[in-house]
Structure 1
Amino acid sequence: MTQEKLIYIFNHFDHASKYSSHKELASGHINDTFLIETKEEPFYILQRINHNVFKDVPGLILNKVLVSKHIKNKLSHLPEEALKRRVLTFIPAKHGEYYYRDEDGNFWNVMLYIKESVTHEIVTNKEVAYEGGKLSGDFLNLTSDFDASVLTEVIPKFHDMSFRFWQFDEALKNASEERKEKAKLYLDKVIELKEEMHILQNLKEFGEIKIRVTHNDTKISNALFDKDNKGLCIIDTDTVMPGIVHYDFGDAIRTICNTAAEDETNLDLVTFNVEFYEAYKKGFLEKVESALTSLEIKTLPLAAKTMIFIMALRFLTDFLNNDVYYKTKYPEHNLDRAKNQFKLIDSMVSQMDV
């Protein structure tokens, strides 16, 4: 991407700033993200939304804007500068929409850069886990009165357990005998856990758990902190859509509480960090407990187990499908990822009443 092209795109948005320089931010895996520095603050984040992954980009961007505006209204008692650090601020394009589509068909959006902020790729202490839990809980609490039905489902069936089992069954039908044999132990585990892993989806479908606004990608790197590691706000809201509280809680726990990398092959190193779990849960409930039902709270541990399982199932499915979805570095990479997640479940169950 040339400097001239970036300036051209940036100047299609309704700001009064003059471009000074830019640098690419490499934290995301899907979109292209640039920090735009200007002659005078504020600085901006310019982002290209990957329309090959997200099929309805205008709907996705509208989701982000509507949810941010709702949170801003809830926090309107804060001073303006403090408010800009607590919630993402999107800048409209000059034609009025919150995106610009370039001549190549790419969609771009712009938001204010939150200065003097930091992110964490992994959690190294319980204080960061606690602050991350507070941020996620606060996001859910502040949006608890937002009508989730107006949001676009940007990735249909993303956490739908029945759909993931259907994909698994189809992969199993077509898998080679060699791959089925290598995965046999884990194929048995899938069948063993099938009924339990549908509990939350059944509660959702029977209307016993409320459909809410959920973030759906609650890894710790999507939480923004100040220099003292106090939580500021949730970022990367591309996957905001209707869901249940368990998606956000469970996926955060899955990524925060694994003591090893997701593809660590030495399973002795893979354990479930209960201390981080308790710290995250404490912060989470401090912010959102009043907006949850007793059933939602009671089933939070099951949420963690379920979200770990759904990733194990997806890795295993891709292995059976000859690795067509996730990038792999060697033939059994996806199987190793699945083994890793199943070990995390075993570690969790051995330490907690789940």
Structure 2
Amino acid sequence: MAQVTRQQLDEAIGSFQYEGILTREEPYGSGHINDTYLLVFEIAEMGTLKVILQRMNKDVFTDPRSLMENIVGVTSHLRKKIICQGGDPDRETLNVIHTVDGDPFYVDSKGDYWRSYKFITDATSYDQVEKEEHFYQSAVAFGTFQCLLSDYPAETLHETIKDFHNTCARYEAFEQAVLADRKGRAKEVEKEIAFVRRRKETAEYFSRLLEAGKIPIRVTHNDTKLNNIMIDNKSGRGICVIDLDTVMPGLAVFDFGDSIRFGASTATEDERDLSKVSCDMHLFEIYVKGFIEGCQGKLTEKEIELLPMGAKVMTFECGMRFLTDYLEGDTYFKIHREGQNLDRCRTQFCLVEDMERKWDTMKEIVRKYGNAGR
């Protein structure tokens, strides 16, 4: 997308139901998809009010109207649940600020889509696991997200990114990339290609369970990284799940699994020294404990049993996507150096192998906490 112009920003700011005098505006956050700004307003004797203003990336999210319909529906549901439980709905879920015309988004004169949220004060999101407690709190928060939305009709949600966690479709895309070999790279990654092909059944695992009706479709977040949890600065508690753009119908085990893939790894996602890459069983246990606690018995016995498989499949899928992108010439994931997507692929496959070695341990940890979660 083209850069935001001054005219666009002023137009958007003037189109939402803001109060007070704008005293500060600045780019905000570390996201790479949407253009995000923090706005600060002075309201007479009442002090300051902070809000988030975002231009949605319509190249990534091609149907912003449906996306916002998802967000409004889910946050309205969460708000009601939080109020019933005596919580603070202004801090424990995102609050959409409407336009002056009463809409949850604004379309500017260039056809770009904007939205705005109340800023969650006195809370922080972390890009990396700095404290084990933060990882635990993120697990509780994402589990609570599952619990509060367990009665939300997932089938009414729009699919904001088609086949996002359809591992079978990802496998087919991988095979097509190998066949096309647009950049002539297939020869140098024969080992990685063979790794994927040996695990074709892993790609098909959950689709078969779904077809057999053995696991339910739920409302899922689909981007369960640590930095999508706001952690209260005073209590240290994970209070709010943010970045709801990828909220769609999906599998709870995938939300769990993506957190493990990212948060329980002992190395960075593009680490070249694979001897540093492993799945930390201590962090795995911390997350299992928190996630099951947060779900408060809403997961089925089968879902709990499948949590390790969710971690393996999400890690495998991500590695396969990195490999596919490398074969296609690095067209989807941003790279900062040659071969970075291949390095990313290799770390994920290394994690998969480590999970396979530790499979009995992972299953035992889940059994330990699973009995308490039912």
TM-score higher than 0.5:
yes
Paired residue type of 2:230: L
User: Which residue matches 1:114?
Assistant: 120
Q: In percent, how many aligned pairs have the same letter?
A: 36
User: Which residue matches 1:214?
Assistant: 220
Task: Please state how far the C-alpha of 1:54 moved relative to its aligned partner.
Answer: 0.5
Superposed CA deviations along residues 65-114 of structure 1, whole A, max 9, x for unmatched, are 1100001111113668x221111110111222100010111100111001
Q: Pairwise CA RMSD of aligned residues?
A: 1.7
Measured in 1, the distance between the counterparts of 2:5 and 2:202 equals 52
Specify the SS of the correspondent of 2:297: helix
Superposed CA deviations along residues 3-38 of structure 1, whole A, max 9, x for unmatched, are 664343122112333311111113111001111100
Measured in 2, the distance between the counterparts of 1:260 and 1:242 equals 31
Measured in 2, the distance between the counterparts of 1:78 and 1:172 equals 52
1:36 has 2:39 as partner: yes
Measured in 1, the distance between the counterparts of 2:183 and 2:137 equals 47
User: Which residue matches 1:238?
Assistant: 245
Tell whether the 8 Å contact from 1:51 to 1:106 is kept in structure 2 after alignment: yes
1:23 has 2:26 as partner: yes
Q: 1:13 aligns with which of 16, 19, 25?
A: 16
Superposed CA deviations along residues 148-175 of structure 1, whole A, max 9, x for unmatched, are 1111100010000111011011111111
Task: Please state how far the C-alpha of 1:330 moved relative to its aligned partner.
Answer: 3.5
Paired residue type of 1:37: V
1:267 has 2:270 as partner: no
Measured in 1, the distance between the counterparts of 2:80 and 2:71 equals 14
1:65 has 2:72 as partner: yes
User: Which residue matches 1:336?
Assistant: 343
Tell whether the 8 Å contact from 2:168 to 2:203 is kept in structure 1 after alignment: no
Gaps of 5+ in 1: none
User: Which residue matches 2:289?
Assistant: 282
Measured in 1, the distance between the counterparts of 2:23 and 2:34 equals 22
Tell whether the 8 Å contact from 1:251 to 1:307 is kept in structure 2 after alignment: yes
Paired residue type of 1:137: G
Q: Number of residues paired by the alignment?
A: 353
1:182 has 2:185 as partner: no
Tell whether the 8 Å contact from 1:126 to 1:275 is kept in structure 2 after alignment: no
Paired residue type of 2:218: R
Runs of 4+ in structure 1 deviating by more than 4 angstroms, as ranges, are 1-5
Measured in 2, the distance between the counterparts of 1:193 and 1:13 equals 50
Specify the SS of the correspondent of 1:164: helix
1:150 has 2:156 as partner: yes
Paired residue type of 2:38: L
Paired residue type of 2:292: L
Tell whether the 8 Å contact from 1:125 to 1:276 is kept in structure 2 after alignment: no
Superposed CA deviations along residues 107-152 of structure 1, whole A, max 9, x for unmatched, are 0011100111101101133211110100000001100100011111
